[in-house]
Amino acid sequence: MPTILIVEDDPQVSQLMRCTLEPAGFQVECAHDGIEALDRLRQGKKDLILPDIWLPRMDGLEVLAHVRSHFPQVKVVVVTADGTPETLLRAVREHPCQYLVKPFDPRKLVDVVKQVLAAPPEATQIEVLSARPEWVELLVPCQLEAAERVQSFLMQLKADLPADVRESVGQAFRELLLNAIEWGGGLDPARKVRIAYVRGRRMLLYRIADPGRGFRFDALAHAAVSNPSNAPIAHKQLREEKGLRPGGFGILMVRAMVDELVYNEVQNEVLFLKYLNGPAR
């Protein structure tokens, strides 16, 4: 039974999390500040800790840094009510496995904990190149787990946008990032995808550059973008023959969700833009 340490100074929140996780099959301990959390880590094996960021005596990110240095086998999910870009960017530099912003659905808590515990240990860390709220740039190892973590983090940065914009941009980014990691990076953790997120006054811009050799649209017979207009799912049979996962609609979906989608010449880098309140003039 995995052991989880909740680090939370609000007794009601701590009890709610405990009552959510124990019926889901986890052994749960609680600490009320950062110093107590470190004491409990020294007393016995923990599989995962859930520290709030703002804690008495030692904040959650200091706890996270200490865990990374002295208990590297312990996984960490940061929990906070402070979803400001500055706090999230400070958190991402300490490499937590995932982020949860209060208030959250109890089912979300259980899902995230199960996902993080099931994930293999990281081969390499996400590298932070720029951590300004208006310009975030990361080097991401070509692992599906890393893609999930980056997606969760960037979704929190857009919390002030309308839900439909957040959803469409999030889906577009996820599809392009997974393509870069899977096809460009070959799911090799030693290879990196470079991601930039730029927040302007009237637009969002994403740049994704993968380490691959690029591609040609006319060679994507396994993708819906290559289908003739009278056969919208012609690629499905080819994917089955090649043993590829179901899908192939990604680029078409992205084109429908963003305002501009631009590839470089060899097509191993892509930009997409989403205008806020209409295109800038």
Do 82 and 135 fall within a single domain? no
Among 24-28, 134-138, 148-152, which is the least confidently predicted range? 148-152
Domain end position, chosen among 119, 136, 167: 119
Do 136 and 224 fall within a single domain? yes
Report d(CA 159, CA 155) in Å as an integer.
Answer: 7
Q: Which two tokens stand for residue 243?
A: 């043993």
Query: What CATH number does residue 230 fall under?
Result: 3.30.565.10
| pLDDT at residue 231 tops 70 | no
Instruction: Output the 3-class SS for the chain.
Output: CCEEEEECCCHHHHHHHHHHHHHHCCEEEEECCHHHHHHHHHHCCCCEEEEECCCCCCCHHHHHHHHHHHCCCCEEEEEECCCCHHHHHHHHCCCCCEEEECCCCHHHHHHHHHHHHHCCCCCCCCEEEEEECCEEEEEEECCHHHHHHHHHHHHHHCCCCCHHHHHHHHHHHHHHHHHHHHHHCCCCCCCEEEEEEEECCCEEEEEEECCCCCCCHHHCCCCHHHCCCCCCCCHHHHHHHHCCCCCCCHHHHHHHHCCEEEECCCCCEEEEEEECCCCCC
Query: What CATH number does residue 84 fall under?
Result: 3.40.50.2300
- Rounded mean pLDDT of 221-237? 55
Do 90 and 194 fall within a single domain? no
pLDDT for the residue 227: 52
| pLDDT at residue 180 tops 60 | yes
Dihedral of the CA atoms 100, 103, 107, 109 (nearest 10)?
Answer: 30
Is the distance from CB of 71 to CB of 78 less than 8 angstroms?
Answer: no
pLDDT for the residue 233: 59
| pLDDT at residue 29 tops 90 | yes
- Rounded mean pLDDT of 237-263? 72
Do 92 and 201 fall within a single domain? no
Do 145 and 41 fall within a single domain? no
Domain end position, chosen among 119, 149, 166: 119
Number of domains in the chain: 2
- Rounded mean pLDDT of 211-229? 65
pLDDT for the residue 110: 95
Report d(CA 11, CA 32) in Å as an integer.
Answer: 8
pLDDT for the residue 218: 64
What average pLDDT is seen over the chain? 84
Do 78 and 153 fall within a single domain? no
Domain with 66 in it: 1-119
Domain end position, chosen among 119, 151, 178: 119
Report d(CA 202, CA 199) in Å as an integer.
Answer: 8
| pLDDT at residue 151 tops 70 | yes
Q: Which two tokens stand for residue 213?
A: 């050799």
* Max CA separation in the chain (angstroms): 66
Do 148 and 265 fall within a single domain? yes
Do 280 and 191 fall within a single domain? yes
Q: Confirm whether pTM is higher than 0.75.
A: no
Using 50, 70 and 90 to split pLDDT, how confident is the model at 121?
A: confident
Report d(CA 243, CA 238) in Å as an integer.
Answer: 9
Do 183 and 273 fall within a single domain? yes
* pLDDT tens per residue, range 32-79: 999 999 999 999 889 999 999 888 889 888 998 899 889 988 999 988
Do 132 and 219 fall within a single domain? yes
Do 114 and 125 fall within a single domain? no
- Rounded mean pLDDT of 105-134? 85
More confident residue, 223 or 28: 28
Do 153 and 263 fall within a single domain? yes
